[in-house]
Chains A and B, each alone.
Chain A
């Protein structure tokens, strides 16, 4: 009797919790959907709410994500492989492990403070895309490391032993056998890490990301040799969550509608990335039977 009641209450509470997500999405859609059109995506922010758009915001987010991915993915995967396949069991390895466990729980705003002191002022990168991208890369590094380790760990040791028996070095075993088997898990981790980075605003606010940016960073491809420019790395920037924060904190229904529209765009991006991660994970689990 009691069991059946608890079963019902549990199911009800589960659905109610998910209901919050549904209400949130509905609220964003009701307030923001009307604002989303081609013009909203292709114009700069403006003091007049009805004319404002998110062009500089999504361009900034895109460039930030590029920097974050280029830094966090190789370092994260390398660290994961090192810790899982190479690291000897000793005090230093324990230290790295505790460090990663702590790093995963460090509040995002502290990455912003580190970036402010270290990247913006000490290395003189300024309040730039480079500083922001590096801050986000440090923030998501533990996610990539943990995902890499977990997917390597789930590969049975017989695979490694078979490779060693045929004379492979450890790296050859990793490169030809372990990494191909763990791409699903690593890809899931990378997608989740990037989706986390896209939604982060606190570290970007801390390094002083401007909220009113009515220009695009300089193009990466130029018409004069050497045809590639890194000037954009040092450009000030805006980003989607920053733009949304700016609109939320302004009084006025119209700006709040803009905030809802920007929020809707953010939600579509994060939910589809998370959906993709779930799909890849379940696919990988289904196809591999050891």
Chain B
């Protein structure tokens, strides 16, 4: 007891510091919630006046998106079409390529090659998107124009292709992680039954890692839907209801950029329209992000 009485003062200080730090750290934890809250509140309050002026049905019924014109049209489908096409092109590059790379790196590549290549692949998603936009517009489009002579200067095809390259690492590294966490025993079982390497990869590892891979795909979709600079630079800024990747069309994100480049007064209908587009984008990506999170959790619980 005597010694306890002797240490008590510093102990009390320790406890006070502890209590203080818990509060400080908790504030940090809640800061992230505050950011989400800030995003949602801003989107809702800034786009609410828009819906007071424009009936919701026109978003679906109109076929053009021209909120800044004298005779405004509010068919948000025209923007969603652009997002759909560029995302589709990007995924048709990223999912097959990313999956093959994931299978190769996880099951076939020598360990040293894998460790050397992985960080280099991840650089692909670290390149600033404005640089990708430059590359798509000024390097890829001219090459594509040799194949499709009618391809306009701005096209969803070239923006989508480069966007696909950008998201390959999301698919390949998440996918590879998922495949590598499939237990060795399963592979050995299949080998014992006489299956080859590719057979094991496709019939045992791929199905075993599928929910992990699906999470990677879903996150890649979310990334493609929200990508802004590549499409704003290379796919064009004119909203158009088309599903032809050889044409130019604005995406939801490109529309926000286009409006932001001009100088719209706070509170005007044009200003509010970018928050409407933003809300659309938030809902879309929220759905994909939550699905991806759930799939990842499911996969981690399974392995």
Contact = CB atoms under 8 A, between A and B. Distances in A.
B261 interface: yes
Contact of B278 (A7, A109, A266, A267): A109
Contacts of A170: 18
A128 interface: no
A100 interface: yes
B32 A27 contact: no
A117 B37 CA distance: 13
A107 B253 contact: yes
A199 B130 contact: yes
Interface string B109-143: 10001000101111110111111111101110000
Contacts, number: 275
A114 B39 contact: yes
Contacts of B247: none
A105 B21 CA distance: 29
A87 B27 CA distance: 12
A136 interface: no
B226 interface: yes
Nearest to A208: B260
A171 B17 contact: yes
Given A24-B127, A107-B253, A113-B42, A10 B121 contact: no
B36 interface: yes
Interface in B211-265: 219, 222-223, 225-229, 232-233, 253, 256-257, 260-261, 263
Given A118-B38, A201-B130, A248 B233 contact: yes
A205 interface: yes
B109 A11 contact: yes
B197 A3 contact: yes
Taking residues whose C-beta sits less than 8 angstroms from the other chain, chain A's interface range is 35 or more
A109 B253 contact: yes
A245 B130 CA distance: 6
Given A10-B104, A21-B123, A113 B18 contact: no
A119 to B, nearest CB: 9
B123 A121 contact: no
B123 A274 contact: yes
Nearest to A12: B104
Interface in A217-259: 241, 244-245, 248-249, 256, 259
Q: At the interface, is chain B mostly helix, strand, loop or mixed? A: helix
A81 interface: yes
A290 to B, nearest CB: 20
A244 B134 contact: yes
A118 to B, nearest CB: 5
Interface stretch (A36-44, A70-78, A153-161): A70-78
* Interface range, B side: 35 or more
B131 A169 contact: no
B121 A114 contact: no
A288 interface: no
B228 A108 contact: yes
A138 B28 CA distance: 12
Given A6-B104, A83-B29, A241 B128 contact: yes
B209 interface: no
Given A263-B131, A270-B126, A110 B278 contact: yes
Interface string A196-212: 10111110011110000
B13 to A, nearest CB: 10
Interface stretch (B52-60, B180-188, B288-296): B288-296
B228 A266 contact: no
Interface of A: 2-3, 6-7, 9-11, 13-14, 17-18, 20-21, 23-24, 27-28, 31, 74-83, 86-87, 95-96, 98-114, 116-118, 121, 138, 141-142, 145, 169-172, 192, 195-196, 198-202, 205-208, 241, 244-245, 248-249, 256, 259-260, 263, 266-267, 270-271, 274, 278
16 contacts: A17-B168, A24-B127, A82-B29, A96-B30, A102-B290, A109-B256, A110-B226, A114-B43, A117-B46, A138-B38, A142-B32, A169-B18, A202-B232, A205-B257, A267-B131, A274-B119
Interface of B: 14-15, 17-18, 21-22, 24-33, 35-36, 38-39, 41-43, 45-46, 97, 100-101, 103-105, 108-109, 113, 117, 119-124, 126-135, 137-139, 165, 168, 196-198, 201, 219, 222-223, 225-229, 232-233, 253, 256-257, 260-261, 263, 266, 274-275, 278, 281-282, 285-286, 288-290, 292-293
